[in-house]
Chain A
Amino acid sequence: MEIDIDMYDDEPTQPRKSIKPQPTEPQIEMGATQEFLPAQPLPNTQFAQGVPTVPLQPTTTPFSPRATVSRRKFMGVSVAGLAAIGGAGAAAAIGGVALAKLMQNGGLGDPSNGPMASNMQIGHLLRRAGFGATPDELTMYRNLGFNGAVDRLINYQQVSDNDMENRLNALNIDLNSPQNQQRWWLLRMSWTQRPLLEKMTLFWHGVLTSSFRKVGGPRAYMRMIIQNQFLRNHAFDTFDNILLGITSDPAMLFYLDLTKSRKTAPNENYARELMELFTLGLGHYTQQDVYEGAAALTGWHVKGLTSQYYPQDHNDLMKTYLGHTGNLDYKDVLNILANHPATPWFIARKLFTFFVYENPSDDDVKPLVDTYVQSGHNMGEVMRTLLLLPQFASTKAYRGRIKSPVEFTVGAYRAMNINGDGAGLPAITTLMGQTLFDPPNVAGWPGDKVSALWLNSGTWMTRLNYIDLLLARGTIARTNSAPLVNLQSIVETHQLNTPEQFVDHFSSFLLDGELASDRRTQLLDYFTSQDTSSRGAPITLGNGTSYPFGRVRGTLYLMMSSPEYQLN
């Protein structure tokens, strides 16, 4: 029988992108984002400080040849040397890193994997279970102790987020456009007092994912927000409820074509990805299970911004699915999956990788699997177990992942306490490799699994340029004509009297104060180096000494562009 339902048909003009994105994101070319990294030199009016009328030049300055030529020649020799060592396997003469160092290189981590020092723990917790912190937040959480901080993060209902909601409401963001949806969520993450709730929502968005590009066309974009609110409202619910909700979620129904599935002609898309990517992983099912699962899942259809189950459109034949036989329906399928022995391992690995470190061992994730089973699949309990694992606060976990684009962008916005409208943020995260509500494909972001994939030459420069934009250009917030970061005011508020105090202040909440002394010295050298031609009013520290504006701002830029700051 034919069922009359509103599906907001796909717009042919929006080619969907369920697998791997276009090389660059089309929305970058749209109006609101033009202000980011403009092709033309910026007009002077956009500069935060009083800047003379010399047009901005892109960086074309030749760099010290030492770093390029000598290194490269060095490489050539070394590669040849490497080739020469081949056969005998006795001794290899190559570069100069001790073996023990090599083991840790590339994020392999400290093999000893002991506990991290206590001064690092709260900063680490707030980066992983949130998006970093301002100095005030750090103090507040530190006073709770580690366990108390975990409690506050998990028992988020006890923390009011009205301030954030009011600030968002004041911006009057029209959520019918993808850019605005991204902006809305990025600002939530920046301003929330419930950071773990937003982080967990982000985690689920990367796993049980959908994209605005295939959600039913512009009239149906709001389905993405409905899905987002579902993931937020149920972030710590049982996995059974999460599976039920996402299966009947309007955006998901459209994204993976379950709404198009008919009892006489089941569509395989959702049935396959539900097992491969949401619950079991490859190797735990057959193509026959895909067929049978697809038949069992029939009956759901989107209806505007809601969804509805039509029993008359459910395939009533006998099915055998993952060893269970009967007239199975979606409830049976989800029940089988939530109770399948592979599921807790699959989800626990994803959580551990996202929140702790990559390539966890079976022993690492076993406590999460146990909690899943013992708690009746309660994800809040699983998360509590995770945050209290010794591995979570281990040296191996510390700076053990590359920050994702969202973590980097929101992290800086949050730590610097920016009160803008976030208009440039979506384009920035896109250029860094992550567009919210638009994962590259149904497997989510590869960087969530292997964080090194977030970083390449292009995305690295975007990170730098974002910091530059945040500190120096002030065009991220259109409604805010004042500089986003007022350094003179920060110096006065925090009574920063010396260059050392300046560096240490920012290091304390941007880098947990974990800055090796030689690297601190490099920053101080830059801060105190001469620059008689710097534009802008000099910054006067508490000791009465003035320093060139560009050097002071540049020091902060260096800290936020440093290798250490790229790590989470």
Chain B
Amino acid sequence: MKLTRRAMIKDGLLVVSAGMIMPAIFSRGVASAQSQALDGSRLAQSANDRTLIVVQMAGGNDGLNTVVPFTDPLYQKLRPTIGLSDTKVIPLDTRLGLHPNLAPLKKLWDAGHMAIVEGVGYPNQSLSHFQAMDIWQTLDLNGNGSQGWLGKLVSGLVDQEGHPFKAIDIGVQTAQALQSISTQVPTISSVKNYRIYPDPADTDGGNARLQALMKLYNSYPGTAPYAALLDTTALSAQDGSRQLLQSDATYRPAVTYPTGPFADGLKVLAEAIVQGLGLRVGYVTLGGFDTHANQQATHDALMLTLGNGLSAFYNDLAAHGKADNVVIMTWSEFGRRVEENGSLGTDHGTAAPLFVLGNPVSKGIYGEPPSLSSLDQNGNLKYTLDFRSVYATVLDRWMGASSKDVLGGSFGTQNFLPQV
């Protein structure tokens, strides 16, 4: 975000020689921009119309009450009040069952379009929301990263094909996963707000005023504070708002989405896919999972929102003939403590399951549910699968990207997506 494309390339030539004194952030920026440009060209070669939708479940989703080890006596013992009984869960096999409000996802499971990846985590997991979110999004296990893994993926793509919508973030703030030093990801709260309204006194639809405004941005000196950010933001907004307005005029969802911001956001992403805006990565967040107290009502409601929203999204895509092109994955910064606390809730935990959904997905349970009898010193689960292996799988096997370049290492792949 600090050094964006304008900084690099504004009208003319910049000569960077070895002898020049560069502040650290700048040299890092140049090096990174170079590698990104290489990533971008590599990605462009394997350009496809596949889309990855990432659903962030913010606050630390209680994995054990999402994919429930309902036949494990330790589960019922450690969760005497908030545990889900075997009569409530939707069994998937003899060990695991889904939260009852995830019934819509069970249909996807039955149709063969859902994978569950178990025990996902990383070494020395942080119990801090914010450090854990940083790690999942920037891949720096010390939590000091700034560039997001998805930002790295989509940078280099955005400009080459003239589409502002290679990636879309739903909300009012760009997720860290999508932060990139060379790309601004369109961040949309709703289609109707993603436009520049004209002055009713102007009879030209606001054209002259908008031109004058863009000129003010275009001529804002590159030396001035936040020049790159301001300029790229204005350009992206002006391009994108026009495109989205046009696509919105002809988009009709094939299903009735549930009410609420989560489903509203998914609907915007569906529109971008159905209308061919070139979406490669869509990002949407469902918050509220930090259930320290009186967990059940909150978690039940969130599971309902998640299941109904994703189900509507899938059905909309399927009705438009786009379900083969889209893979959805969920994540949360951590699971929760195995033993319930004294407030009918759960404190911060570690490993958790995540979902991968879509027609291209090979149904099944991947990874190994962590043992409830062998916990770490804080009473938390020991992870069995590195989250970067999940990322590597969607990058290599779905996005046609080089996971090694994006992740900065090899972490193996899982079989929830077929080998390319």
Which residue numbers of A lie inside 8 Å of B, CB to CB? Answer: 9-10, 12-13, 15-26, 28, 37-39, 42, 44, 47, 49, 51, 54, 56-64, 67-69, 71-72, 74-76, 78-80, 82-83, 85-86, 89-109, 213, 256-257, 260-262, 264-269, 272, 276, 282, 287, 290, 399-400, 402, 430-433, 440-443, 446-447, 452-462, 464-465, 468-469, 471-473, 516, 518-519, 522, 525-526, 529, 531, 533-536, 549-550, 553-554, 557-558, 561-564, 566-567
Contacts and interface: CB of A to CB of B under 8 A. Distances in A.
Contact of A37 (B25, B34, B192, B215): B192
B226 to A, nearest CB: 5
B208 A562 contact: no
A534 B203 contact: yes
B403 interface: no
Contacts of A518: 219
B235 A68 contact: yes
5 contacts: A59-B195, A457-B187, A535-B200, A557-B199, A561-B213
Nearest to A529: B208
B201 A51 contact: yes
B12 to A, nearest CB: 2
B408 interface: no
Nearest to B182: A79
Nearest to A76: B160
A18 B187 contact: no
Contacts of A262: 342-343
B14 to A, nearest CB: 5
Interface in B211-244: 211-231, 233-242
A303 B11 CA distance: 64
A522 B212 contact: yes
Interface string B143-156: 10000000000001
Contacts of A529: 208
B109 to A, nearest CB: 25
A372 B260 CA distance: 46
Which of A18, A262, A266 has the most B CB atoms < 10 Å from its CB?
Answer: A18
A265 B173 contact: no
B145 to A, nearest CB: 13
B16 interface: yes
Contacts of A26: 260-261
Contact of B202 (A72, A469, A554): A554
A83 B10 contact: no
Given A446-B173, A455-B233, A269 B34 contact: no
Contacts of A519: 216, 219-220
B23 interface: yes
Given A101-B223, A557-B209, A461 B288 contact: no
A549 B2 CA distance: 39
Given A68-B235, A549-B201, A102 B195 contact: no
Contacts of B23: 103, 108
Interface in B169-210: 169-174, 184-190, 192-210
A54 B200 CA distance: 9
Contact of A553 (B131, B199, B240, B245): B199
A557 to B, nearest CB: 7
Contacts of B190: 24, 28
Contacts, number: 453
Contacts of A446: 173
B159 to A, nearest CB: 4
B91 interface: no
A128 to B, nearest CB: 14
A536 B16 CA distance: 54
B90 interface: no
Which of A109, A261, A461, A522 has the most B CB atoms < 10 Å from its CB?
Answer: A461
A94 B225 CA distance: 21
Contacts of B242: 59-60, 62-63
Nearest to B30: A92
Given A24-B264, A272-B127, A461-B196, 12 more contacts: A37-B192, A37-B197, A67-B218, A69-B162, A82-B37, A97-B8, A101-B222, A109-B225, A440-B287, A457-B187, A458-B188, A558-B216
Nearest to B169: A456
A461 B237 contact: yes
- List the 4 closest pairs (A to B, CB-CB), nearest first: A265-B342, A96-B12, A95-B9, A19-B59
Given A57-B198, A106-B1, A108-B23, A96 B205 contact: no
A106 B297 CA distance: 44
Given A15-B301, A260-B343, A455 B2 contact: no
Nearest to B238: A63
A54 B203 CA distance: 9
Given A95-B13, A457-B186, A554-B209, A522 B38 contact: no
A85 B16 CA distance: 10
A91 B14 CA distance: 9
B264 A23 contact: yes
A282 B131 contact: yes
A456 B222 contact: no
B226 A452 contact: yes
A85 B34 contact: yes
Contacts of B245: 58-60
A104 B223 contact: yes
Contact of A63 (B173, B210, B221): B210
Nearest to A400: B225
A180 to B, nearest CB: 21
Contact of A461 (B34, B193, B292): B193
Contacts of A102: 3, 7, 14, 26, 222
Nearest to A83: B37
Nearest to A64: B211
B375 interface: no
B262 A22 contact: yes
